[in-house]
Structure formats: structure tokens, C-alpha cells
Amino acid sequence: MSGTLTIDDQTIPFTDGQTIIEAARTAGVYIPHLCHRPGYTPHGSCKLCTVKVNGRTCSACTFPAAEGQKVVNNSEELQEARLRITQMLFVEGNHFCPTCEKSGNCELQAVGYHLNMLDSHFPHFYAHRKVDASHPDILIDHNRCIFCNLCVRASRESDGKDVFGIAGRGIHKRLIINSPTGQLKDSNISVEDSAVQVCPTGAILVKRTGYKTPIGGRIYDQHPISTIACKKRETDSTG
């Protein structure tokens, strides 16, 4: 089965089993998102992709596309809320973009630009988070984790491992590592794993690759995320 639906008055096709966000992406329509990556099981946790489907609030990354749906994506109300949610993610962790190696390649930052985010709006939590530099090739900076769960899924679904998990409740969420010591060096991760590449922020970085591309020449320095995101191929993991 396949058919068409409309997003903000634009008619787009979809194929059976597609979610709204995937139908949109295929048609070149950008719906902001952070916890979604084509090819991985949808998660539906960041809520940035929230759209109205026939008047009802839905997550575009999990909601199945269906014939005749009227989807509102670009309304002022939705963009405003997306901005606030993005700001929530910024104040929850500790994001010092100017000193972050991911700057320019970071989806969180790029979504912030897309939504015209000028300040963090909410008071910062100043959470105490750690850095795990134990692994020879990979660095984890927990300060930048937004709990999108992509590394968890990538490790499980693509690498056939179970290196990551998310534990804790509420604001005490934390990323955990599957190893006897809890440190990355004692896990069975390897630098080639998709899980290492998939992180939308600078929470997982490959060591000794920093600043290869100078700031200014990076992905979202060149093009807004709204155009990049639609060009991405399935499980393409280049940010």
C-alpha cells in the first residue's frame, strides 16, 4: 500500500510502513529531530519531531504515515515548542559549544540554529557529569549526552553488541557502559562501530581526529540542517 498525505499544504507520497518523518525526508521536507536516524528503530523520546496529524499531536518519527493525513509541521506553535525543548536539552547538560570539538558538526547545535535559538532561556542545571577517557581511541563526555538513545540502538542493531544503556529515572538519567568496571576501555566497543559514529552531539568522540576539519568548514557551517538532513541516506552515519 502507498498513498499521499499533506504536510503544510504540500502533498507528498509515502510507502507502506513508512513513518511520517521518513515520508517527509524522502520528499525533501525537513521535520526537526534529534533521536531519529534512518535505519534504526524509532525511539520517540526527544519530541522535537512533534507534528499535528489531523489535529492530534504526534511524534513524526514513530507515527505511521496514512492516506490523506493532514500534517502540520511548520506552525509557529510547533516551532516555538521545539525551540523550548531544544533549550531544555541545552540546560540539562553542559554544552560549551565554543570549546566543543563537535561544534559545526553537532546536530543539537544545528537544530538550535535552525530554530533561531539565541539563548538558553531556562536556568542551567549545572549537572555533575563526568568524562570517560579510559578507552585508547574513544572519548565519552557525559556532559553532552542528550539521551537520544542512538548509540544504544546502533550498538545493538548495527554492531550486534550491547555496549551502551541508559539508566536512572527522571532528571537523573545517565548513559551507562556495559563493562565490568563501567568504563569504556573494558567494554567490547571498537572504533569502527556504528555506535561511535552515531552520536548527534559531542558526547562520543573519536580521539586524535579533532579539528581535522577547521571550524567554519564543517557540515552545518556550510549548510543548514534542514537541507543536510533530507539528503542523508539510510544508516548513513556521517553526522
Partner 1 sequence: MTGNDTMKTFLETVLAEADYQPVRLLKILRAVQAQYRHIPATAIDFLSDKLNIPRTQIIAVVEFYSFLHATPQGRYDLLFSDSITDRMQNKESLLAYAAEILKVRVGEVRKDELVSLNNTSCTGMCDQGPAGLVNGYPLPRLDRPKIDTIAALIEQEIPLDDWPAELFQVEETIYKPGLLLTQPFSNGDAIKATFNRGLTETLAEVDLSNLRGRGGAGFKTALKWRTCAIQAATPRYVICNADEGEPGTYKDRMLLNLYADQVFEGMTLCAAIIGSTQGLVYLRAEYLFLYEKLQNVLQNRRDQGLLGTTILGQAGFDFDIEIRMGAGAYICGEASAQIESLEGKPGIPRTKPPNSVICGYLRKPTVVDNVETFFATTHIAIKGGQWFADVGTPQSTGSKLLSISGDCARPGIYEYPFGTRISEILSDCGAEEVMGVQIGGPSGTFISNRELERTLAFEDLSSAGSFMVFNHTRNIFDVVQNFTDFFAHESCGFCAPCRVGTSLLKNQLNKIIDGHGSAVDMEKLSEICMVVKNFSHCGLGETAANPILTTLASYPELYLEQLKRSGFSPGFNLDATLAIARQLTQRDDSGAHLSQQVEN
The interface mask with partner 1, positions 5-44, x = CB under 8 A, is -------------------------------------xxx
Among 90, 99, 197, 207, smallest CA distance to 144 is for: 90
- Residue 125, interface with partner 1 (CB under 8 A)? yes
- Residue 146, interface with partner 1 (CB under 8 A)? yes
Count other Cβ atoms within 10 Å, centred on residue 169: 6
Cβ proximity of 164 and 116 under 8 Å: no
Q: Which is nearer to partner 1, 10 or 179 (CB)?
A: 179
Q: Which of 23, 24, 30, 33 binds ligand FES (CB under 6 A)?
A: 33
Q: Which stretch binds partner 1 (CB under 8 A): 8-16, 67-75, 82-90, 218-226?
A: 82-90
Could you say which of ligand SF4, ligand FES, partner 1, none residue 151 binds, taking C-beta under 5 to 8 angstroms by partner kind? ligand SF4
How many residues touch partner 1 under the rule CB under 8 A: the total is 41
Q: Which of 18, 59, 197, 201 binds partner 1 (CB under 8 A)?
A: 59
- Residue 225, interface with ligand FES (CB under 6 A)? no
Could you say which of ligand SF4, ligand FES, partner 1, none residue 1 binds, taking C-beta under 5 to 8 angstroms by partner kind? none
Count other Cβ atoms within 10 Å, centred on residue 28: 13
- Residue 202, interface with ligand FES (CB under 6 A)? yes
**Using CB under 6 A, which residues numbered 136 to 195 contact ligand SF4?**
145-151, 175
Among 91, 100, 98, 95, smallest CA distance to 139 is for: 100
Q: What's the burial of 21, exposed, middle or buried (CB within 10 Å: 0-12/13-18/19+)? A: buried
* Calpha distance 239→228 (Å, rounded): 9
* Calpha distance 155→237 (Å, rounded): 13
* Calpha distance 120→41 (Å, rounded): 30
- The label of the residue with cell 561511535 reads 196
- Footprint of ligand SF4 (CB under 6 A): 145-151, 175, 198-201, 203-204
